[in-house]
């Protein structure tokens, strides 16, 4: 009796790539320093952007309410002017608010950014 052992293997690059993609989701990977530096840099402006957008939108809504008081409800013209001015101030404060919050966030993150850049430059 002759024992014939055969081995058949079917390779699929597409399946292997899919397997690797799925595996990468579950295997803990230490982020490289450059990616960490990019995330930290992006996080500095995120908080300022959100706060300034909120101030701008709320200010625009208050300004719109003031315009309604002036144009639709003619009995409240003086109140509409006051509310409109408050809305304009809120809209105008959005950009300085962004700069202020971004400056504070940069001061908080600066030591970590400096440490990472020193490591990357060596």
Question: Residue 28 pLDDT more than 60?
Answer: no
pLDDT digit string (tens) for 67-89?
998 888 878 889 999 999 999 99
Long-range contacts of 49-53 (CB under 8 A, 24+ apart): 49/98, 51/97, 51/98, 51/101, 52/94, 52/95, 52/97, 52/98, 52/101, 53/94
Q: What is the mean pLDDT of residues 40-48?
A: 88
Q: Indicate the Cα dihedral angle 33, 34, 37, 38, nearest 10°.
A: -150
Percent of the chain scoring above 90 in pLDDT: 43
Query: For residues 41 and 46, what is the distance between their CA atoms, to the nearest angstrom?
Result: 9
- The better pLDDT of the pair 72, 7 is held by 72
Rounded to the nearest integer, the mean pLDDT of the chain is 85
Task: Please compute Rg for the chain using Cα positions.
Answer: 29
pLDDT digit string (tens) for 81-110?
999 999 999 999 999 999 999 999 999 998
For the chain, the domains span 50-122
């Amino acid at each position: 009796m002759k024992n014939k052992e055969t081995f058949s293997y079917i390779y699929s690059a597409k399946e292997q790539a899919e397997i690797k993609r799925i595996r990468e989701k579950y295997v803990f990977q230490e982020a490289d320093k450059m990616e960490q530096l990019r995330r930290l840099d992006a996080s500095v402006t995120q908080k300022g952007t959100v706060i300034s957008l909120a101030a701008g939108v709320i200010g625009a809504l208050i300004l719109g309410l003031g315009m309604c008081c002036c144009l639709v409800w003619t009995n409240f013209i003086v109140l509409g002017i006051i509310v409109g001015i408050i809305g304009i101030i809120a809209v105008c404060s959005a950009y300085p608010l962004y700069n202020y919050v971004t400056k504070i966030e940069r001061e908080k993150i600066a030591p970590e950014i400096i440490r990472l850049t020193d490591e990357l430059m060596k």
